[in-house]
Chains A and B, each alone.
Chain A
Amino acid sequence: MIELRDVSKIYQIGDERVHALDHANLHVYPKEFVSIIGPSGSGKSTLMNIIGCLDVADGGQYLLDGMPIEAYSENELANVRNRKIGFVFQSFNLIAKLSAEENVELPLIYQGVKRAERQQRVREALERVGLSKRAKHLPTELSGGQQQRVAVARALVTKPSLILADEPTGNLDSKTSREIMQMFQELHEQGNTIVLITHDNDVARQAKRIVHILDGRLTEVTL
């Protein structure tokens, strides 16, 4: 599914070279629910960007569904993001002037899916996250939890190989956080592969497998 082999990413900050990722190795199997935990500055975001094909590594190899990503052009990466990865961000990242259903529809438009099928799949995805009644609302008219549900629906609608969640509960209160995490559990049970990145131990512990990241190095944590 996901295979990172000796992946490195180096940033040049002033005269200093920072190893955001230092020969990181990770293997995620299909239908796994993995959480990656680490404090801020540990290289979490860099890892997430590379797994999410938002950025490419400076060294090492990254295989997604067996395909080496580093060889891809920018447009091919966009296509991979579109079809294989569903993102859920800490700050929801919905487009403010599009309604909930339009936000969910967007990745399907980029895939070139026909209108009728789009509408059908958007309806299903919103139903899945329990927001059918709010389909026409703008993000600003929704609560934080509802916005995150829309984001989850947008991630689900393309039936991606991997759902990549970056601190999905970071901006939510504890009750809403529990609801969202519950939803991830259900998605996992339905056979989705989920990688969840967080700094919160309680959140991380809900995954079946935890990987710890510190100073750009990954270590397995056994429960």
Chain B
Amino acid sequence: MMAVKMALRSIGANKMRAALTMLGIIIGVMALVVLVSLVDSATNSITSEVSSLGSSLLTVRVSDDKGVPIKLQDLEAWVDTEPSIAAMAPYATSTATGKFGTESADFNVYGVTQDEYKIQSMQLTMGRFIAASDVKNNNRVCVIPEGTAEDLIGYKDCLGREISLNGIKYTVIGVLEDEEESLATILSGGMKTAYIPYTALMRLSTDNGSSISTFYIGASEGYTLDQAEEVMKNLLMERFNQDEDAFSISSQNMIEEAMGRISNFLNILLGGIAAISLIVGGIGIMNIMLVTVTERTREIGIRKAIGASRRTILVQFLIEAVVLCMLGCALGIFVSWGILQIISAITVSASISFRLNGRVVVLSVLFCFLIGVVFGLYPANKAAKMKPIDALHYGG
């Protein structure tokens, strides 16, 4: 404790120099803490968004249909025959220009079946969702979110109104609760959303044929997703002549796992770069400690003359280097906290809250300590090795 006080006083005696020396450590710690915290916060919010899409959801993609493309009827048949599969929803999307009166807007139009409502966690505020009969009869009806209704039509209560998509009129039969402003909606760049029967979408656009290349599966209650996946896999293997490269089945878990791997990789990469800058900062500390030892040769001589052992001197200068590092570290963490607060304030609309990552704070404290010891050892040892007479007579 005494030694730490003494070290603080030595550092305080030369504030400007100490501040400049610490700058290296401060910047290193900032780089480490801010970058890792950013990656972590972003990953967390993306992961939670992915899992909010529905955790009991499998995505099936068909890359090679071998001349037997999957039709809507196949999906219906599979749901009927397989008890483990509760719902199947084809995924088809197109863009269209939507009009109501004189207002117009760009739309992402999703072709859906009645199962979509079950699979995605959607909430209706009024009306009904697209029904099996709408899909069957290829009815020109649509369901839109509240925000879209307000922007295009002007009010929320718009059941029965007709909007036109690429010139074809669709009656609004249901209004959905607005999704929270999520990363996906930000990425879509302000496009409006409309859901229409899957069969209607196939008419609306030319690039969605009657064959389904992507669809979602939900597992029935009492069955796990893995069981549903197994059943689906067998069905598709049978259909595509046992060629498992013809399709892929992925679950949200896999996406989460992949996200985890990506963020780990990013953390190691960015953390590594930041660690290098911390090491550079450590070299700065060593440099200044060497200067300090030379400047204080006489003091070392006096201390040795009145009985300081090698060890005492070594510990004194080592503590000084470590204290310098830890001060830099503390300042770096404080500044990082400030930067993350600012970033959070700026990106408040993105629903990502950038928080200081506790693990990386602990890590940087330990790392700074290590750097203080490693880079302080050489100068401290140099001080400890001085002969008392040489040190006493240094500079008169």
A interface list, Cβ under 8 A from B? 49, 52, 54-55, 74-75, 78-79, 81-83, 87, 89, 91, 93-97, 106-107, 109-111, 154, 158
Majority secondary structure, B binding face: helix
Q: What CA separation (Å) do A55 and B298 show in the bound complex? A: 16
Question: Nearest chain-A residue to B389 (Cβ)?
Answer: A54
Contacts of A52 in B (CB 8 A): 305
How many whole Å from B170's CB to the nearest CB in chain A? 83
Q: Which of A79, A87, A91, A96 contacts B305 (CB 8 A)?
A: A87
Residues of A within 8 A of B259 (CB): none
> Which of A52, A82, A111, A154: most chain B CB closer than 10 A?
A82
CB-CB under 8 A from B389, the residues of chain A are 49, 54-55
Q: Are A54 and B306 in contact (CB under 8 A)?
A: no
Q: Which residues of the partner chain A approach B312 to less than 8 Å between Cβ atoms?
A: 110
- Could you tell me the distance in whole angstroms from the C-beta of B360 to the nearest C-beta in chain A? 37
Interface size class of B (residues with CB under 8 A): 20 to 34
Please pick, from B306, B392, B396, the residue contacting A82 in the complex, using a CB distance under 8 A.
Answer: B306
CB-CB under 8 A for A75 and B309, given A95-B299, A97-B13: yes
Tell whether, in the assembled complex, residue A107 and residue B307 are in contact, meaning their CB atoms are under 8 Å apart. yes
Q: Which residues of A contact B9 (CB under 8 A)?
A: 97
Closest Cβ–Cβ distance, residue A69 to chain B (whole Å) = 14
Q: Does B61 sit at the interface, judged by CB under 8 A?
A: no
> Which residues of B lie under 8 Å from residue A91 when comparing CB positions?
396
CB distance from B396 to the nearest CB of A (A): 7
Indicate with 1 or 0, residue by residue over B278-303, a CB within 8 angstroms of chain A CB atoms.
00000000000000000000110111
Would you call B307 and A111 a contact (CB within 8 A)?
yes
Question: Which A residues are CB-close (under 8 A) to B302?
Answer: 93-95
Beta-carbon contacts of B351-394 to A below 8 Å, as 1s and 0s? 00000000000000000000000000000000000011100100
**B388: chain A residues within 8 A (beta carbon):** 54-55, 81
Interface of B toward A, CB cutoff 8 Å: 2, 9-10, 13, 298-299, 301-312, 387-389, 392, 396
Q: Which of B2, B306, B311 contacts A75 (CB 8 A)?
A: B311
Evaluate whether A79 and B303 lie within 8 angstroms (CB atoms) in the complex, with A54-B389, A54-B392, A97-B13 already known. no
Q: 4 nearest interchain CB pairs?
A: A82-B307, A78-B309, A107-B306, A110-B307
Q: What are 27 A-B pairs with beta-carbon distances under 8 A?
A: A54-B305, A55-B389, A74-B310, A75-B310, A78-B304, A78-B308, A78-B309, A78-B310, A79-B307, A79-B309, A81-B305, A81-B306, A81-B388, A82-B306, A82-B307, A87-B305, A87-B306, A89-B392, A93-B301, A93-B305, A95-B299, A97-B10, A97-B13, A107-B306, A110-B303, A111-B307, A158-B307
Contact between A95 and B305, CB atoms less than 8 A apart: no
Residues of A near B304 (CB, < 8 A) are 78, 81
Looking at A83, A89, A97, the one whose CB has the most chain B CB atoms below 10 A away is A97
Which residue of the partner chain A has the closest CB to B305?
A87
Task: Name the A residues within 8 Å of B301 (CB-CB).
Answer: 93
Chain B residue nearest to A76 in the complex (CB): B309
Cβ–Cβ < 8 Å partners of A111 in chain B: 307
Q: Which residue of A lies closest to B306 (CB)?
A: A107
Q: Once the chains are docked, how many angstroms separate the CA of A126 from the CA of B372?
A: 38
Bound CA span A76–B304, Å: 12
Q: Which of A55, A96, A106 contacts B306 (CB 8 A)?
A: A106
Interface centre among B13, B305, B307, B308 (most CB of A within 10 A): B307
Contact of B10 with A83 in the complex, beta carbons under 8 Å? no
Chain B CB count within 10 A is highest, among A55, A78, A82, A87, for A78
Q: How far is the CA of A123 from the CA of B284 in the complex (A)?
A: 41
- C-alpha gap A202/B298 in the complex (Å): 30
Among A54, A87, A97, A110, which residue has its beta carbon within 8 angstroms of that of B308? A110
